[in-house]
Amino acid sequence: MSQPTVFVSAPVPDDLLEELAREFDVVAVPPGTTQDLGRYGSPVGWLMGGGTPIDAGVLAQLPDLKVVSNSGVGYDSLVMDDIRAAGVIAANTPGVLDNAVAEIALGLVLSLGRGIVGFDRFTRDGRWADGAAPLTRDVHGKTVGVLGMGRIGKRVAQLLQPLGVSVIYHNRARRPEIDESGLAQWREREAFFAESDFVVVLVPLSPQTRGYVGAADLARMQPTAYLINLARGAVVDTPALVEAIRSGQIAGAGLDVFDVEPLPLDDELQTLPNVILLPHIGSATAETRRAMSELAVRNLRNGSLGQPVETPIP
């Protein structure tokens, strides 16, 4: 008796693939494939990363599909209205990557505030022989603004507490329990950008949040302030950010996400010395990626067998 088919378009450890193969015919489909999917079979489930768009056109090719299991927390490539209309369940992997992403946020706050990456270049370039390194500023006593106080934002605030910083946040909906806990204090949007020495962007990408941080927000920031983006590149108006940095309107940025990935070598961001560029490594630890794969596989298996998934996308 043949087994039901599942597609896999994201890296999954061999032992987890072997477990899946006991119950399913596991078919590797190249990431981003959206045309002529029938040649791979008719799956009941699809495990993917963030680079494969799923819309009505894709779903029409997959009449047996029951579940889309996204190995990652961001699901901007999934057209949820189309998925719901097709009666398909979608799941992602929230929670398991909160700490890893928050650690990168903490690292960027310290690296930007204390010039750590720039001083590495200063030492390697031999400039130390010409005189002492320039002074930076304390991180202690500064204000960090978290734009998007969800699970990751809350963990960022927790990790920042021992540094002696003040944490403020802005959401479209205020979270009274956060204010009451003393972890962070809510601010209106204008005050949020004006008060923050570091703005950490954690807003998920959606049609409503594309270009969410724009020129007007950057203009409210202090010339000593930094913007850190760990969400999606398109959440920030990149040309406006480049101009704000070039003009000295803000001091610099730390970016783990970009409009185009990998970031082209001729991108203007590559020319800015006061910007730290990371290759989308917020969740890139062995432990976190393993936990993401395990949860994505469980969601794939459960959904494919008609059982409830652990972390459905609302």
Convert 218-245 into a string of H (helix), E (strand) and C (coil).
Answer: HHHCCCCCEEEECCCHHHECHHHHHHHH
Look at residue 266 and tell me if it is in a domain: yes
Residue 233 within any structural domain of the chain: yes
**HSE-up of 14 (CA within 13 Å, CB side)?**
0
Task: Bin 105: left if φ > 0, else alpha if -120 < ψ < 50, else beta.
Answer: alpha
| Catalytic-role residue among 232, 289, 298, 301 | 232
CA 289 from chain center: how many Å? 14
Q: Which of 151, 189, 280, 310 is catalytic?
A: 280
Q: What percent of the chain has pLDDT over 90?
A: 96
Q: What is the pLDDT of residues 20-53, one digit of tens each?
A: 999 999 999 999 999 999 999 999 999 999 778 9
What is the number of domains present in the chain?
2
For residue 161, the tally of other CB atoms under 10 A from its CB is 12
Is 103 in the same domain as 184? yes
Nearest in space to 146 (alpha carbons), one of 121, 118, 120, 168 = 168
Instruction: Kindly state whether residue 314 falls inside one of the protein's structural domains.
Output: no
Beta strands in 113-157 (DSSP E): 143-147
**pLDDT given for residue 1 in this prediction:** 63
Residue 311 lies in a domain: no
Q: Do both 37 and 129 map to the same domain?
A: no
Same domain assignment for residues 160 and 67: no
150 and 83 in a single domain? The answer is no
The Cα 114–Cα 111 span in angstroms is: 5
> Catalytic: 280?
yes
From the candidates 188, 190, 261, 287, which is the catalytic residue?
A: 261
pLDDT tens, 252-289? 999 999 999 999 999 999 999 999 999 999 999 999 99
Query: pLDDT averaged over the chain?
Result: 97
Expressed as residue numbers, the domain containing 220 is 98-277
Position 53 in a domain: yes
Whole-angstrom distance, CA of residue 49 vs CA of residue 69: 9
Catalytic residue status for 151: no
Residue 312 lies in a domain: no
pLDDT of residue 263: 98
310 inside domain: no
Examine residue 262 and say whether the peptide bond preceding it is cis (omega within 30 degrees of 0): yes
What CATH number is attached to the domain comprising 73? 3.40.50.720
112 in the same domain as 89:
no
The answer to whether residues 138 and 174 belong to one domain is: yes
Residue with tokens 């020319």: 271
pLDDT by residue for the chain (314 residues), tens only, comes to 689 999 999 999 999 999 999 999 999 999 999 999 999 999 999 999 977 899 999 999 999 999 999 999 989 999 999 999 999 999 999 999 999 999 999 999 999 999 999 999 999 999 999 999 999 999 999 999 999 999 999 999 999 999 999 999 999 899 999 999 999 999 999 999 999 999 999 999 999 999 999 999 999 999 999 999 999 999 999 999 999 999 999 999 999 999 999 999 999 999 999 999 999 999 999 999 999 999 999 999 999 999 999 999 98
**Residue 177 carries which side chain, given as an amino acid letter?**
E
Active-site residue 170, yes or no? no
| Same structural domain, 31 and 175 | no
Identify whether the C-beta of residue 277 lies closer than 8 Å to the C-beta of residue 270. Answer: yes
Residues 192 and 225 reside in one and the same domain:
yes
Q: Is residue 253 a part of any domain in this protein?
A: yes
What Rg value do the Cα atoms of the chain yield, rounded? 22
The structure's pTM equals: 0.92
Whose CA is closest to 43, among 76, 18, 6, 97?
6
- What is the model's pLDDT at position 2? 87
